[in-house]
Amino acid sequence: MDKIGLSACLLGVGCKYNGKHNLNIDLIKTLKGKELVLICPEVMGGLSTPRIPSEIQSDGRIINQDFEDVTYFFNLGKDLSLEKLNNNQVKKVILKDGSPSCGYKTIYDGSFTNTKIKGQGVTTKHLLSNQIEVIEID
């Protein structure tokens, strides 16, 4: 049976920056019976839940809304996510679009004005460059 990686928030784990989740009942129904490997790169990288919102800046750094550089935690999270997926022989992953880690079509523009732009989060880029397929959901 193929294993599928999944952003933990999509399964209802309260690991979003605001302590909430992105529970997706339709997705859960679709994945019923499949072996899932949950990841939350931001938590895996050492960030708390809840946490101050963060966005990728034009220079590639990730800054939180208090102007603290949190790039280290995001980079650690992307590395640990890849390691967990590889250790579990996962080749496909479903991620939550929009976040600075898991965004696969869009990310926020770095201005903290709720403006999305085309782009990918740091974990998405890292997984794709290491032959992990990102499965898109709507």
Query: Of 22, 67, 70, 69, which is closest to residue 46 (Cα–Cα)?
Result: 70
Task: Quickly list DSSP for 95-108.
Answer: --TBSTTT-SSEEE
pTM above 0.85, yes or no: yes
pLDDT exceeds cutoff 70 at 116: yes
CA gap 89, 28 in Å, rounded: 21
Please say if the pLDDT value at position 115 is more than 80. Answer: yes
Count CB atoms within 10 A of the CB of residue 112.
14
Write down the mean pLDDT value for the chain. 96
Mean pLDDT of 91-115: 97
Q: What pLDDT does residue 2 have?
A: 83
Question: Is 138's pLDDT higher than 80?
Answer: no
Distance CA 60, CA 19 (A): 25
pLDDT digits (tens, 9 = 90+) for 47-86: 999 999 999 999 999 999 999 999 999 999 999 999 999 9
Tell me, what's the pLDDT at 1?
62
